[in-house]
């Protein structure tokens, strides 16, 4: 049985990706084709979540063994363990820090053998979401420390105001 999962993004409305995969292939193989085709860094932590019609997370399938008894690991978990019919849903979390994800659903089931090796991407359209949100730490705004802001706000740069020069916060010191 060949499943076609369609993935969309809530960040990029034009993004659509269809992935064809055999029912007995693993979530790791699905993860790898997504990473490869979207140009993502495969070293990032990711997970799939089995979800319901409301996109609520039900079961997690992790990239790495997290050491829990009930864990499902991508490498050992075939797609058919959770998916059997059209319209079943899953979430693919590709940026854990910002909780960004792709929404996936089975759009087609074909009861046949594929003439080409699977998994494969049969459709990729629109703007691909960035794998991680970037902050430009080279920007002067990010290089300014709180001390720099205080210095500007109170009118001193590298010197303490005269009334603070003798300040010594040690116990027993009378101010």
Summarised one tens digit per residue, pLDDT across range 44-102 is 889 999 999 999 999 999 999 877 777 899 999 999 999 999 999 999 999 888 889 99
The strand order across the sheet containing 89-95 reads 72-73, 57-62, 47-51, 89-95, 100-110, 2-9, 16-22, 120-125
Structure-block tokens of residue 60: 């997690």
CB atoms within 10 A of CB 154: 8
The answer to the question of residue 13 being in a domain is yes
Taking 50 as the threshold, does the pLDDT of residue 142 lie above it?
no
Give the pLDDT of residue 43. 80
User: Across all residues in the chain, what is the average pLDDT?
Assistant: 84
Give 135 or 115, the one with higher predicted confidence. Answer: 115
Q: Give 129's pLDDT tier (boundaries 50, 70, 90).
A: confident
Question: pTM, whole model, 2 decimals?
Answer: 0.74
The answer to the question of residue 171 being in a domain is no
**How many domains is the chain partitioned into structurally?**
1
Q: Tell whether omega for the bond before 84 is within 30 degrees of 0, i.e. cis.
A: no
Please name which of 21, 131, 112, 152 lies closest in space to residue 74, comparing C-alpha atoms: 21
Burial of 7 per CB tally in 10 Å (0-12, 13-18, 19+): buried
The answer to the question of residue 98 being in a domain is yes
Residue-range definition of the domain harbouring residue 53: 2-125
The answer to the question of residue 15 being in a domain is yes
The answer to the question of residue 170 being in a domain is no
How far apart, in Å, are the Cα atoms of 150 and each of 80, 95, 147, 153, 157? 59, 35, 5, 5, 9
- 104 with 6: CB under 8 angstroms? yes
The answer to the question of residue 159 being in a domain is no
The answer to the question of residue 46 being in a domain is yes
Q: What is the CATH classification number for the domain harbouring 107?
A: 3.10.290.30
Please name which of 44, 67, 49, 69 lies closest in space to residue 59, comparing C-alpha atoms: 49
Taking 60 as the threshold, does the pLDDT of residue 157 lie above it?
no
The answer to the question of residue 96 being in a domain is yes
């Amino acid at each position: 049985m060949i499943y076609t999962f369609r993935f969309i993004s809530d960040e990029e409305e034009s993004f659509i990706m269809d992935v064809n995969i055999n029912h007995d292939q693993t979530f790791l193989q699905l993860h790898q084709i997504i990473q490869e085709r979207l140009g993502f860094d495969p070293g990032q932590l990711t997970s799939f979540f089995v979800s319901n019609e409301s996109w609520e997370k039900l079961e997690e399938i992790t990239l790495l063994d997290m050491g829990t008894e009930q864990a499902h690991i991508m490498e050992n978990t075939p797609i058919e363990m959770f998916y059997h019919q059209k319209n079943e849903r899953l979430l693919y979390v590709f940026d854990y820090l910002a909780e960004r994800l792709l929404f996936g659903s089975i759009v087609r089931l074909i009861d046949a053998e594929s003439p080409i090796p699977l998994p494969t991407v049969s459709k990729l359209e629109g703007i691909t979401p960035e794998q991680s949100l970037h902050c430009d730490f080279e920007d002067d705004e990010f290089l300014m420390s709180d001390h720099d802001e205080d210095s500007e706000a109170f009118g001193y740069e590298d010197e303490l105001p005269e009334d603070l020069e003798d300040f010594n916060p040690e116990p027993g010191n009378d101010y």
